[in-house]
Chain A
Amino acid sequence: MIRIEPRNSTSRAFALGIPILSAVVSLALAAIPLMLAGANPIVAYGEMIKGVFGSVFSISEMLTRATPLIFTGLAAALAFRAKLWNIGAEGQLYLGAMAAVAVGSGAFDVPGIILIPLIILLGAAAGAAGMAAPTYLKIRFGADEVVTTLLLNFIILIFLQMMLEGPLQDPMGLGWPQSAPVLDQGMLPPLVDRMRIHSGLIIALVAAGIAQFMLARSVWGFKLRAVGENAAAARHAGINVNRSLFGVAIISGGLAGLAGASEVAGLKGYLTADLSPGFGYTGIVVAMLAGLSPVGVVIAALFIASVFVGADSMSRAMGVSSFLADLVVSMSLLCVLVGGFVAKYRIIRADTGKAAR
Chain B
Amino acid sequence: MMDILNILLSESFWAASLRIATPLIFGVLGALICERAGVLNLGIEGIFVVGAMCGWMAVWLGAGLWGGVLIAALAGGFFGLLHAILTVPLGLSQHVSGLGITLFATSVSYFSYRTALPNVSSPPRITPFQPLDLPILSDLPFLGSVLFQQTALTWLALLMVGVVWYVMNRTALGVAIQAVGDNPDSVDAQGLSVYALRMGAIVAGSALMALGGAFLTMSAFDAFFFGMVNGRGWVCIALVIFASWRPGKALFGALLFGAFDALQVRLQTEMGALVPGQVFLMAPYILSIIALVIAARSADYPRALLTPWFKGQR
Contact = CB atoms under 8 A, between A and B. Distances in A.
Interface residues of B, number: 48
A338 interface: yes
B190 interface: no
A142 B241 contact: no
Using C-beta atoms within 8 Å of the partner chain, give the interface range for chain A.
35 or more
B278 A323 contact: no
Contacts of A319: 118
A284 interface: yes
Contact of B93 (A4, A323, A337): A337
Contacts of B234: 147, 150-151, 154
A337 B97 contact: yes
A43 interface: no
B285 A144 contact: no
Contacts of B95: 85, 146
Contact of B310 (A4, A147, A148): A4
B237 interface: yes
B278 A162 contact: yes
A330 B106 CA distance: 9
A151 B111 contact: no
A87 B114 contact: no
A175 to B, nearest CB: 15
A142 B276 contact: no
Given A151-B285, A158-B282, A166 B90 contact: no
Given A153-B231, A333-B100, 20 more contacts: A4-B89, A37-B115, A137-B293, A143-B296, A147-B292, A155-B285, A155-B286, A159-B278, A161-B278, A162-B276, A281-B103, A321-B118, A323-B107, A323-B114, A326-B106, A326-B111, A327-B104, A327-B108, A334-B82, A337-B93
Interface of B: 42, 82, 86, 89-93, 95-97, 99-101, 103-104, 106-108, 110-111, 114-115, 118, 230-231, 234-235, 237-238, 241, 276, 278-279, 281-282, 285-286, 288-289, 292-293, 296-297, 299, 310-312
18 contacts: A3-B311, A36-B115, A85-B95, A141-B296, A142-B296, A143-B292, A146-B237, A151-B234, A153-B231, A281-B103, A284-B99, A285-B100, A285-B103, A321-B111, A327-B108, A333-B99, A337-B96, A337-B100
